[in-house]
Homo-oligomer: A and B are copies of this chain.
Amino acid sequence: MTPKQKPDHKDVAALLAPDILELLDSAPGSIAVETAELHPADLADVAEELPRAALPAFLAALPSDRAADVLEYLDDDLRAELLEQMSTEQAAPLVAEMTPDERADVLDDVDEETAEDILDAIPEETRLETERLLEYPADSAGGLMTTEVVSVLETDTVESALTQVRAIARGGRREAMNTIYAVSASGSLTGVLSLRELLAAAEGARIQDVAWTEVQRVVGTADREEVARVTSEYDLVAVPVVDERGRLLGAVTVDDVIDAIQEEQTEDVQKLGGMEALEDPYMQTGFLALLKKRAGWLSVLFVGAMLTESAMSYFDSELRRAAVLMLFVPLIIGSGGNSGSQATSLIIRSLALGEARLGDWWRVAIRELSSGLSLGSILGVLGALRVLIWQAMAGKGYHIGPMQIGNDYGEHYVLVAMTVGLTLVGVVTFGTLTGSMLPFLLRRLGFDPASASAPFVATLVDVTGLVIYFTVALLVLSGTLL
């Protein structure tokens, strides 16, 4: 068995589920022991394979901290549905055991009434903490952070800090346990050190002597792209989150950063493909929800593309006089769209990674203008050659695959070749420039640059491409074909 084809965890879960179901009937007390060595993520996979009705009993059969772990790894929708079905008495203790960030997420997902009932039934301190987290948007640093961080006073000694850390470690889990934050008496974040550094520190030293004082941090309202950028640039396992006055609120742990990066990226690719971003994975999105996300943009683009018909009508008399022009319409507008797609995806990614900033727009514009002219010249030469070669081969009956070689473009074929070539230079340059500037424009206006989708650029370029084509044709062919 090669590693690529090893059984998927979901398949293993499907195999385990019937055993668990049987145990639920015969000996629910043994489930906790039987599954003790499974990673909670795998246990969540097993749970997803069980019939919905068996889920509350399954969770009840686990110790409440394990059940809370399983809830954390369960599919978001299923989890919300489950909590809505459970009694407040069963749901509240599980939710209270969850890590603060996941707890806030799940209460964001369930209906308002269930959220309020659960909040009322969990301990006061946990409730206040959760309510504070719920104030931040779900994809901001504050929405992603956990408040379970380890902080010590900067004036503490290393030994005292180590005792506190061991006590916290024994007392229950803390998510962001590998990093220790030093705070001042007023709660301001003043330093950071890793658990390793604390272990290695000389005994008797004070935290402020051994902690790093240049602490990378984000404010609670920072968006997830900013959090991802700081984490990735400084190779952090957790980014501390502070309020406007620099007081430590919590930390975003790297596992949540990875999830945020994956989600952001999925959104970007879907937008780039010309649709609204889905809320759930593709395979779990209902047919109608999927259709709605796609039909909107497709219809808007379609109505925009109707301008091509107007442009074609406008040049109707030219097209009738020089019907040969018609043959190249799809080739020309397609090339504009392709070069625009290239440019737009390049720039969207550069902006997302922070490689290019808004102020770089003119540097990018100069670069893409040169790129467009070069690429356009290459395609222009290919296009003109095509006309000249096909003319020379006309009527000889050659084929390459399905493509017939040779066509008669009439006595002015050299002018036709020139028209096609020059148009391609213009269309590709315009496509490249439009595709590269659109993401900057969108960001400037406060939109997501990724909304500059390939189809959007292609549609924009289609209409302009036709205008460029017929204008060049009027200039080159005037007096002969036109």
Contact = CB atoms under 8 A, between A and B. Distances in A.
Interface in A355-398: 355-357, 360, 363, 367, 370-371, 374-375, 378-379, 382-383, 386
Interface in A29-45: 37-39, 41-42
A367 B287 contact: yes
A308 B345 CA distance: 25
SS class of chain A's interface: helix, strand, loop or mixed? Answer: helix
A337 B337 contact: yes
Nearest to A308: B330
Interface string A339-364: 10111111111100101110010010
A345 B169 contact: no
Interface stretch (A78-86, A111-119, A269-277): A269-277
A414 to B, nearest CB: 17
Contact of A232 (B232, B262, B287, B370): B262
Given A273-B341, A281-B350, A341-B273, A291 B371 contact: yes
A422 B367 CA distance: 43
Contacts of A386: 306, 309
Contacts of A410: none
A67 interface: no
Interface stretch (A54-62, A151-159, A181-189, A451-459): A451-459
A403 to B, nearest CB: 5
A323 interface: yes
Interface of A: 3-4, 8-9, 37-39, 41-42, 165-166, 169-170, 173-174, 177-178, 194-197, 199-200, 212-214, 216, 218-219, 221-222, 226, 228, 231-237, 254-255, 257-259, 261-262, 265-266, 268-270, 272-275, 278, 281-284, 287, 290-291, 294-295, 297-299, 301-303, 305-310, 312-314, 316, 319-320, 323, 326-331, 333-335, 337-339, 341-350, 353, 355-357, 360, 363, 367, 370-371, 374-375, 378-379, 382-383, 386, 402-404, 407, 428, 453-455, 458-459, 462, 466
Contacts of A199: 165-166, 169
A186 B12 CA distance: 28
Given A313-B407, A331-B309, A269 B266 contact: no
Nearest to A466: B330
Contacts of A233: 9, 41
Contact of A3 (B178, B219, B254, B329): B219
A236 B213 contact: no
